């Protein structure tokens, strides 16, 4: 060390600012028990609003700062941040080096995590900005030292059956069936949001945690500290937005297939539901009901009177959901206008074609507010005016034909810098437009999400997964992690999307088990591209995109129908409970589908159970995830008593039980005397 002065930390109101070595670092309170950290090189930090909302000043009116000779402290409720400054003469480079290190503590003074130290002669940097060629931002790696024994959950949806994320690495990028939502909760008592939509990577190793952005303008993350996952979820929802109250149509059963090819075909399915007395809230007109991708309207021959269709469905008590893709085909009636007005994502090298499905197409640039306004106005005119108010926002990642993220540019910057915000803005286009038109009950099905998507009424499903037992198991952990990441509305394609054969007994077993799982998901939705396929031909003999095979409850034989019928009625009986679960998601930021650890964080084993989940606080579900299984082991968390929903037998928590699981029964347990009126319903008795 030398006698040269170390650049001090300065207080700017209740935020702390440090400058040194060409870097600017800002730490400030941002909501209850929370702080936001930003840093940049030779400039001022930007007030980006990718996901974080402006904080409520009253939420941190007791925040206090203290300046010390070697740094400063910021305390905000249950979180304390220590900034420690240092300098030394760096012999190899021949000049003074300045450093400011961060460490995060809870209210009891327990270290939660800290930035990676210098490591003596290793000369490590916790915040490593590396300029990119061309000067468009920096490549950034941020490294932390964390508890090697902590357990982690969150990060959105990745197709893996892994509950504890410690030891895992994640691509920070979206793909079909992958939704990267970079918020993680630690058993050590903190939550961490990487507030940067850049393409990158997150690694949770035992020796360090690293967040990496391939191109960014600044470091930006948010930290909260609280003693329970429930409190962390509450703080995170306050910071990034609460989901709206789930509309009534989101509480029951949704019917889909690939694809109802005509108005009459769709209506006949809804009529048959009513003839059979089957509950049905939503039915779906899937993709290629349009003439060309990007036309955003029904093709007249197959859908001659959409308004009459919607009116009949309403008389049946059913809502219509319509698929909307963000792709615009080069053959679309809207392509020339959108290209001329710079409302499309731009390809920066090679041919300006970003996907080819039934013809070459490019993506609408929903990061541009003009494009969002145009999209909603077009969909309002062609769908909304017919009475459609629920939309299926497919391809929301977006799904590039080749995921060369560095090849594209949007209104808000290069795709490397901003690409992960795309699905959030896609959902926003519809939510903003619908709300401006007076719609108060927004729920739209979206194939991808990012932080903050929940506030736009995004119901996220897990993408085009396959009809396999492995994929079924992955959806259990996917739903848990999406809930932790602040997206409480989650669903899957019951039965899987790819390759289920309507006539195959092996698929029937998988479908039944998936349907049982789906009955307890936040939203219950049957969908899939079934075999055998069905050809679709226009009156003039020209080809249209094929349809999949039948996918209705009665499509798989009488034995299967008997089980599915019972569970769709059970879902209807659960409606009052699901409504209260959704109210807690809306008001308190709690996940609807959650891991056992959420309500039982002191039960260490609850952090390890990866094949069960809770729907709200009172319903424990143990789906059968293996073919041929007719019993399974179920862990019951400590701190509660649990009644077997099939038999009514009560067990103390803190132990495992082996229960019968014949093909028509999914193991379910009710907590502490809840839902006693439903005992026997899972076993087909009353």
Q: Please identify every residue annotated as catalytic.
A: 394, 397, 464
Rounded (to 5) percent helix, strand, coil in the chain: 25, 30, 45
3-state SS of 447-468 is CCCCCCHHHHCEEEECCCCECC
User: Which backbone phi and psi does 581 adopt, to 5 degrees?
Assistant: -60, -45
Q: Are 421 and 412 in contact (CB under 8 A)?
A: yes
Q: Are 455 and 242 in contact (CB under 8 A)?
A: yes
Sequence-distant (6+) residues with CB within 8 A of 72 are: 9, 11, 16, 65, 66, 83
Q: Are 531 and 539 in contact (CB under 8 A)?
A: no
Q: Are 70 and 84 in contact (CB under 8 A)?
A: yes
What is the three-class DSSP state of 315? helix
Task: Give the whole-angstrom CA distance, residue 231 versus residue 601.
Answer: 11
Q: Taking Cα atoms as reference points, which of 401, 341, 432 lies closest to residue 176? A: 401
Cα dihedral sign, 159-162-166-167: negative
DSSP single-letter state for residue 159:
S
The tokens for 72 are: 């400063």
**Angle, CA of 479, 481 and 484, to the nearest 5°:** 110
The tokens for 460 are: 């996220």
The H-assigned helical ranges of 206-262 are 229-240
**For strand 282-285 and strand 253-255, is the pairing parallel, antiparallel, or unpaired?**
parallel
């Amino acid at each position: 060390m030398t006698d040269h002065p170390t650049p001090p930390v300065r207080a700017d109101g209740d935020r702390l600012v440090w400058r040194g070595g060409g870097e600017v670092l800002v730490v400030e309170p941002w909501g209850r028990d929370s702080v936001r950290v930003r840093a940049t090189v030779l400039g001022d930090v930007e007030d980006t609003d990718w996901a974080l909302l402006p904080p409520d000043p009253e939420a941190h009116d007791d925040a206090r700062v203290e300046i010390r000779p070697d740094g400063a402290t910021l305390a905000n409720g249950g979180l304390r941040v220590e900034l420690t400054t240092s300098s030394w003469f760096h012999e190899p480079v021949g000049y003074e080096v300045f450093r400011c290190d961060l460490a995060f503590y809870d209210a009891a003074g327990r270290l939660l995590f800290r930035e990676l130290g210098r490591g003596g002669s290793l000369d490590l940097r916790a915040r490593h900005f590396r300029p990119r060629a061309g000067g468009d931002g920096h490549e950034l790696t941020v490294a932390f030292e964390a508890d090697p024994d902590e357990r982690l959950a969150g990060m959105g949806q990745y197709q893996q059956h892994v509950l504890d994320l410690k030891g895992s690495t994640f691509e920070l990028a979206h793909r079909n069936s992958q939704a990267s939502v970079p918020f993680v909760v630690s058993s050590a008592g903190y939550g961490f949001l990487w507030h940067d939509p850049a393409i990158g990577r997150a690694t949770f190793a035992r020796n360090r945690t690293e967040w990496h952005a391939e191109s960014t303008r600044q470091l930006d993350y948010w930290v909260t500290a609280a003693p329970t996952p429930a409190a962390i979820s509450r703080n995170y929802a306050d910071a990034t937005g609460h989901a709206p109250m789930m509309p009534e149509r989101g509480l029951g059963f949704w019917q889909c297939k690939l694809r109802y090819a005509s108005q009459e075909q769709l209506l006949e399915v809804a009529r048959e539901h009513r003839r059979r007395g089957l509950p049905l809230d939503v039915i779906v007109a899937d993709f290629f009901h349009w003439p060309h991708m990007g036309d955003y309207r029904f093709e007249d021959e197959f859908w001659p009177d959409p308004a009459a269709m919607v009116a009949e469905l309403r008389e049946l008590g059913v809502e219509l959901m319509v698929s909307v893709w963000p792709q615009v085909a080069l053959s679309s009636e809207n392509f020339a206008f959108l290209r001329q007005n710079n409302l499309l994502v731009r390809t920066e090298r090679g041919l300006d074609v970003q996907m080819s499905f039934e013809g070459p197409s490019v993506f609408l640039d929903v990061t541009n507010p003009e494009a969002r306004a145009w999209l909603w106005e077009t969909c309002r005119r062609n769908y909304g005016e017919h009475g459609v108010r629920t939309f299926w926002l497919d391809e929301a990642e977006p799904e590039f034909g080749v995921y060369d993220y560095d090849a594209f540019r949007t209104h808000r910057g290069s795709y490397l810098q901003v690409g992960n915000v795309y699905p959030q803005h896609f959902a926003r286009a519809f939510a903003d437009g619908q709300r401006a038109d007076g719609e108060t009950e927004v729920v739209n099905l979206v194939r991808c999400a990012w932080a903050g998507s929940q506030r736009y009424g995004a119901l996220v499903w897990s993408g085009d997964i396959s009809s396999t037992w492995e994929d079924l198991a992955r959806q259990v952990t996917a739903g848990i992690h999406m809930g932790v990441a602040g997206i409480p509305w989650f669903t899957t394609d019951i039965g899987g999307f790819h390759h289920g054969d309507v006539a195959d007994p092996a698929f029937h077993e998988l479908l039944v088990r998936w349907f049982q799982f789906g009955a307890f998901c936040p939203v219950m939705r049957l969908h899939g591209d079934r075999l055998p396929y069905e050809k679709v031909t226009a009156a003039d003999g020209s080809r249209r995109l094929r349809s999949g095979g039948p996918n209705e409850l009665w499509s798989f034989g009488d034995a299967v129908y008997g089980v599915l019928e019972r569970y769709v009625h059970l879902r209807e009986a659960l409606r009052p409970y699901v409504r209260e679960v959704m109210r807690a998601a809306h008001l308190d930021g709690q996940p609807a589908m959650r891991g056992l650890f959420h309500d039982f964080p002191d039960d260490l084993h609850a952090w390890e159970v990866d094949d069960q989940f809770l729907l709200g606080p009172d319903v424990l579900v143990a789906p059968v995830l293996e073919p041929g299984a007719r019993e399974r082991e179920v862990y019951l968390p400590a701190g509660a008593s649990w009644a077997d929903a099939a038999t009514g037998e009560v067990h103390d928590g803190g132990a495992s039980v082996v229960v019968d699981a014949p093909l028509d029964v999914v193991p379910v347990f009710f907590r502490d005397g809840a839902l006693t009126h439903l005992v026997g319903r899972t076993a087909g008795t009353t």
